[in-house]
Amino acid sequence: MTFSNLSAPLALNLSIAGTIILLAAAPEAFFPVLSLVRTSVEHGELWRLFTSNFVHFGWPHTLMNLAAFLLCALALLNSFPIRQLLGLVLFCCLSVSLGVYYFNPEYGTYAGLSGAIHGFIVAGLMRNKRHTYWLNAIFIALVFAKIIYEHQPDYQATQLQTLMPVPVAYDAHMYGAIAGLFYGLGHWLIIWTKRKS
């Protein structure tokens, strides 16, 4: 099978994964110009609000997010029409970065896809037709329960997270999940409006 024979959503998901690997392979070249550096955004480098989602703090961070993204893509995202998938990626990535930029001044530099992945999971579950709606609702509730647990004062990072050179930005997970929820609700609202008209 050639790349041109792949479905558009699958091709986009593989392109995202390939981009993450490419950027991780040359961090000295890409990380300084693509990560979300607050002072740089304030000086007009607005592309960082999007590109910061695709660069990471080293290979452990990259591989953790890459594995999570590929699992999410295979389980939930390949059924999205390409325009909706593009919209989801843009909306979640920008929502996470804007959330971090406006509400987390303690993060001098932000990078990584994990926040957006939480949004992909929530939105994907909201339109998942492989399982009944109540099972999808349970999974969504578990995502938000995880985020609440991460924000508890006594929460301990997992062994994998301790491999990262910086603390995990748990607020980014919250911003992403909320963005995914709003994206999914917007999709439902559009369907409901079309049925009413």
CATH for 3-196 (3.40.50.10240, 3.40.50.300, 1.20.1540.10, 1.10.3720.10): 1.20.1540.10
The string of pLDDT tens digits covering residues 128-158 is 887 789 999 999 999 999 999 999 998 887 6
Please check the confidence at residue 2 and state whether its pLDDT lies above 60: no
Predicted TM-score (pTM) of the model is 0.93
The string of pLDDT tens digits covering residues 58-116 is 999 999 999 999 999 999 998 789 999 999 999 999 999 999 999 999 998 999 999 99
The string of pLDDT tens digits covering residues 157-193 is 766 677 788 888 999 999 999 999 999 999 889 888 8
Map the chain to HEC letters. CCHHHCCHHHHHHHHHHHHHHHHHHCHHHHHHHHCEEHHHHHCCCCCHHHHHHHCCCCHHHHHHHHHHHHHHHHHHHCCCCHHHHHHHHHHHHHHHHHHHHHHCCCCCEECCCHHHHHHHHHHHHHCCCCCCHHHHHHHHHHHHHHHHHHCCCCCCCCCCHHHCCCCCCHHHHHHHHHHHHHHHHHHHHHHHHHHHC
pLDDT band at 1 (very low <50, low <70, confident <90, very high): very low
* Segments making up each domain of the chain, as ranges: 3-196
